[in-house]
Structure 1
Amino acid sequence: MDKLMNNHWVMRVIALFLALMLYASVNIESGTQANKSTSPLNTSTSSSLETAVVTDIPVVTYFDEEDLVVTGVPETVNVTLEGPTGSLLKARQQKDFEVYAELTNLSIGSHRVNLKIKNLSSDLKATISPSVITVSIEEKISKDFPVEVEYINEDKLEEGYSPDQPIVSPNSVRVTASKEIIDRISKVQATINLEGAKETINKESRITIYDSDGNILPVEVEPSVVDVTVPIKSPSKVLPFKVVREGELKKGFSILSMETDPKEITAYGPLDVLENYDFIDGVKVDLSEIEKDTVLEVDVPLPEGIEKISPETVKIEIDVDEQQEKSFSDKKIEEVGMAEGKVFDFLDPDIGELDIKIYGAPSVINDINSADIELYINLSNLSDGEHEVQVQVNSPQNITWSLEQEKVKVRISSAS
């Protein structure tokens, strides 16, 4: 072995072998690196051409919009794009290209039209679906139509409430479309929701155009929104009212007559509230301010639970005259309200009679006689024994009176 190692030919052969091995190793690695550097480029070149479908792209139509109407153009189309990944991704995200139908130079009638695309990156190819459409070009006309009001949820109004005649402003609108569409129009409608309404509704409503089958027609409307007022009629009840007199006329004067205009008030509100009222109380007149014939305008109070009244004021015409007096003697005092099984006796006055004077205008008291005046005492809820009781007077209106005594004494006992 040592001899072989010392032989220079053997060493040359070994050196040559090692050199060949090193050369081969370097070339193999270099070839691998070359493959690694070139292979991705080829892959990129082949894989960067991708396709994608972009949906719902609006279709822009070019034509004489002032004088013509076009139908048959779809609102949107789908576009299949092919190209490099970067450009494709940008186009999908931004959708900055346009699909359009060029109709500018076409005549009135029916036409087959190729949809086109613009503003698309030059390295992208596009396929439009549908790519060909059939359009109809017609002359544009305008016509005025009255506006109808359609109510919804009318059944959800509270009991007794109902809508009155609606007011629409403006009450007609101008519809612009082709003659074929104009001839199909059956109804021009504004819609109002009545649910829960208790008072006048004031709302804006969008106009909708229908054909006879209830289909909505695509037309131009001017104005497209109108103002609608719907008065809501609530349950009502006509009620008389009571005039409450406060204060006294100046000495020497009496009321000749007192007339009201109107004589009844209309009250509006829920049915269950109206049922509780037979008249309206609290219309007040201050007599202390009256010295001559007068016409007053007096507020009518709003009863509890009532939503509104009409009218809210009434006129009261008061005529006055110089006061005169008239006397009636020995007017018998009647009793009311005594419990069953009870009896009573007058103690003061023991005869149960009183004198009364009445005061009023001459034309009023001249027609009053003794039978028109009633005196009575209320004995309800009184126990056995002696009691002082207030004397009450029933008399015609527009007079005053005075009694020789305002109270009487009575004795109540059980019947034997």
Structure 2
Amino acid sequence: MNKRKNDLTLKIFSVAIAIVLWSYVMGLKNPEWPREYKVDVEFTNIESLDRRSLIIMEPSEVRVSVGVIGRRSNMEGFNPDNNIVAQLDLRGYGEGESRVPVTVTLKDSPPGVSITKVEPSHVLVTIEKVVTEEKIVNIRTSGSVSAGYSLGELEASPRTILIKGPRSWVNKVSDVFVVVPLSNESTNSRSYPVQITDHNGDEVLGLEVFPSVVEVTVPVYRKATLPIEVVFENELPENYVMTNMEVSPSSVTIRGGNQITDYTSIKTKPVDLNLLLDNPSLEVELDLPDGVELVDPGQRIVVNATIEEMTLKEFEFNSTEISIINKNEDLALEGNEGNVLIQVKGTAGILETLTKERLKPYIDLENLQEGVHEVGIQVNTIEGVTIESIRPETWTVTLRREVIE
């Protein structure tokens, strides 16, 4: 009995030694072979983001380090591109930053191969909302039109465009514009690409633009600078007169077709003279011909007028203050020695400075021969002064040939 027991123990012990020896030999000939590979991570369920107008901002691609182990004989046929699958499942994630786990599995790998590590095991993913905004297209110009021509108001069609992209990119947009070169001397219309920049003037890339080009109409006109002609209507009240009038500015620059070369001045719309009594500085409108406009449409035209009331003033002259002109030297004068009253009319400012000496009343005896004559009393012409009456209007004078004793 003891002998049988000892034989069984010996057999078990022999088997154990055989296993150990086999493992040792196999370890020497076919050892475990750990390997580490860099593997690209596939983003999955992106369509779930698309359905909610979401987009991945960062990272654009991910690589992880995957450790695997297996017997050398098995690992010799291992291909990481075919046998390792690394995925980032984006289902259920929303706008913002999220730590998403990396899922790594083995596909069609040899038996006995297993994963030992994945680094990093999580990836920080930034997701943003895709937004659409309407923007006004500004128009910039380069160069200038030729001398004698004026650029009108440029118009873009359409006036606005849509930009679409991640919220942060759309928020960067500071200016949407097209650049129009100026060189032609006639109105033209062309298409220009839309440009998008941030506040630093750098181009914002990655956005969708609808439409990406706009048509710009560039109106070019002939221009000319012409004097302003003030047109008045109605009459001032009796005894009132306009003593001075100025228009500011005295000229304006207009633009239009080739017909503007036919104009010599630009008239105002009729100005009621009576309005200037209460408002001597009056803003007026221009009566622009059809097809003509101001280069500066906001320019103010102001008429400044001085209107004064006419008054009367009377001067008295004795006979010695009446001048005699053109008398025949061979004739002696006998005549009326009475005083002469002269009434004049003018503005207060003029009459205040008017003196008798400036009026210089006189009678003209030119071509008068011996005898009795009625001679009109005359007065010098003075600007701004009207002679209302001369009393008497004539003098009776007698011309006699001088007797030499």
Place the TM-score, normalised by the shorter chain, in its bin.
0.3 to 0.5
TM-score (norm 1): 0.36
The structure number with the bigger radius of gyration is: 2
